Amino acid sequence: MNQGSKVLLSAMLGSLLVSPALAAEPSQRPDAGLQVGLDAEEAALLPQRQALQSYFRDAYARYPAIPAGTLEAIAYVQSRWLHLRPDPKQMQGERHHHMPAAHGAMGLYAGDGFADQVGEAARLLGVSASRVRDDPRTNVLAAAALLDREIRSDAGQAEALRGRLGKPTPESIRPALMRYAGFASAPAGAAADSEVADYARTSFAYDVLLAQDRGVDDRGIKVPERAIEWERAFEMDQLVKLRAPFVRLDVTRDRIETAGFELDPISETLQARSPEVGLLAAEDAPDMGTQSTDYGPALWVASPYHRTRSSYSSVTIHTAQGSYGGTISWFQNNPYSVSAHYVIRSSDGQVTQMVRNSRGAHHVGVHNGTTLGIEHEGYVNNSSWYTTAMYNSSAALVRSFCSKYSAISCANAYSGPAHSGVVVLSTAIDVKGHQHYSSQTHTDPGINWNWGRYYNLLNPGGGGGGGTTILDSFEGSVGHFNTSPSYSGSTTGISTASSATRTCATRRNGNCSLRVLLKDNSGSSANWAVRLLSGTGRPGSNTPLTRSGGKVGFWVFAAGSGMQVGLGIDDSDGTERSVRRSLPANQWTYVSWSLTDAAQWNAWAGGNGAISAGTVKLDAIWLYRAQTAWDVNVYIDDVQIQN
């Protein structure tokens, strides 16, 4: 986006301890066995993902109406760039629960309750259905043919659809993306509100645009970052319901906030104003996307499949074997009456509730009446889905269960090795996988779920025993820092060409670190102030930090002079920002801030200038420098809290 003509809407919103950091204890670093598997998976997938990039180029050449980056984003949403090959035996044996199988990197459906995208695309291309399913290049062309058909069906809205280059824009094809999704139609007798009926399709379109808005550059997956003008893609109330990240505005139109809506400067999401200034009261709002009454951070969309329950004694962890939007659609309308209480998105940990806590969802057979079920977007054989944001969001949800239901104790969660098959665990274990119950055939969440990591998130602080907890080591992924440096609306001075990627060429500990490349915005004379978001700035996506005795810090290497760093902490009354300190050039330095020393904190957005809550969250790492035309690299490693 040209920052000279666009603006990012947002309200602009002690002493530094420098010491050698203790190396993290082995138990606090990523599970060694899982890391070995992750490294092997990454190496095996890289050639496939490199080939996909050439297939995308071929598809754009053949179907030029499709906006650049859209196909990469669809493949990211549907498969994480893995050519899906469903196991026929598994699908036949588990048809009672799993959503329809998706095929290829584009995740095309072949009927069984969803649209027959495979068959339709085969007819459009004049090839066999098996070729669409099995050949990666044809699979990409098939998705492009289906999407191109939907885009061309909107050709009558030429002016609204076309950007400055005379082609459709990503925002303008949102209706085409919704029709393309291939999900089931709303069930007979469903709520009349079209937004409720179309929630899954809307979510799919939103996910595709969100992948482009944030960009992806991880493990060979490359979705080009392109700022999405959200207000051009969705209506204002939809942006609120979808918790859109923030809204970009063409300054020539000079308006986005209205009498009914405003921008939250902390989360950078569009919010509804209070009823006294004219917004609909909560009871008058549509049922889709309103705040859950059981769990505040969740969106709400109802599944018709639920039953009476007795009393909850456990929590069941599932992997959906499908996408976020697809899972929601399946739980709204399927012939097997399956559902779960909650569904969690991989990319940012967004939560949708589908069955009230007071009812039993249909997710684990004979145990439905006594266990709460959480479906996690993704596939058991691909660890890319199990992101830091997903783990943190899921753990926060389970901690809420542990606080509400006396029979569920987070201290009694499973913390052993992951399993690939069915392994029945004791009923004394309160939080466990689908594969850990009796009378089951399902093997989720499977061999890639990190139970030790999850246990530590469910029981933050380790019982007050002290030590160091690594929040992000960057060994397997970018962790919480999955957005670019320029993504926050509070960032000033740098170009959208800036990036934050994992690198294994420079590191302080372990094998890898986070490389933050800062490029100047030539259209601005502002000094650099970079709010490098943790967990996309959402408190629910970040790890709880115990204030008492806590020091939050990280290793940092500034490959240039004049850099300063700081932290943002989400507190009970808003967000506090730390004092900043200068970094020496070209050497690794460990910096940390005490959560109990008010002299090290200043009020920022709604804060009081001190950390006052017992448990807080890391909002962001701040990077500062006077404006320069030179590129500057900053490397960050082992973001941690010491108690």
In tens, the pLDDT along 436-479 reads: 999 999 999 999 999 998 998 998 764 344 678 899 999 888 98
In-domain check, residue 396: yes
Length of the chain, please?
643
Residue 109, CA distances (Å) to 99, 105, 185, 368, 386 in order: 10, 11, 14, 28, 23
**51 and 188 share a domain?**
yes
In-domain check, residue 239: no
pTM of the model: 0.82
**637 and 620 share a domain?**
yes
**43 and 108 share a domain?**
yes
Range of the domain at 161: 34-229
pLDDT for residue 210: 92
CB 481 within 8 A of CB 619: no
Q: What are phi and psi of 348, to 5 degrees?
A: -140, 5
CA distance 559 to 585: 6
In-domain check, residue 287: no
Q: Which two tokens stand for residue 393?
A: 């969001």
pLDDT for residue 276: 41
pLDDT for residue 255: 40
**450 and 480 share a domain?**
no
In-domain check, residue 562: yes
Q: What sign does the CA torsion over 620, 625, 630, 634 have?
A: negative
Low-confidence ranges of the chain (pLDDT < 50): 1-30, 93, 96, 160, 191-193, 249-256, 275-289, 462-465
**483 and 409 share a domain?**
no
**195 and 51 share a domain?**
yes
In-domain check, residue 271: no
The CATH number of residue 218's host domain is 1.10.530
DSSP 85: -
**355 and 319 share a domain?**
yes
pLDDT for residue 281: 33
Q: List CB contacts of 532: < 8 A, sequence separation 6 or more.
A: 481, 485, 488, 500, 516, 620, 621, 622, 623
Q: List CB contacts of 569: < 8 A, sequence separation 6 or more.
A: 545, 552, 575, 576, 577, 578, 595, 601, 611, 616, 617, 618, 619
Q: Which two tokens stand for residue 306?
A: 């639920």
Helix (H, G, I), strand (E, B) or coil at 188: coil
In-domain check, residue 564: yes
**352 and 422 share a domain?**
yes
pLDDT for residue 17: 29
- Our measurement of the distance from residue 260's CA atom to the centroid of its chain's CA atoms, rounded to an integer in Å, reads 27
CB 340 within 8 A of CB 374: yes
**172 and 315 share a domain?**
no
**182 and 320 share a domain?**
no
Of 437, 463, 489, which residue constitutes the final position of a domain? 463
The CATH number of residue 517's host domain is 2.60.120.260
**441 and 497 share a domain?**
no
Residue 550, CA distances (Å) to 140, 169, 589 in order: 49, 47, 19
In-domain check, residue 257: no
Of 463, 493, 526, which residue constitutes the final position of a domain? 463
Number of domain units in the chain? 3
In-domain check, residue 247: no
**488 and 395 share a domain?**
no
Helix (H, G, I), strand (E, B) or coil at 195: helix
Of 400, 431, 463, which residue constitutes the final position of a domain? 463
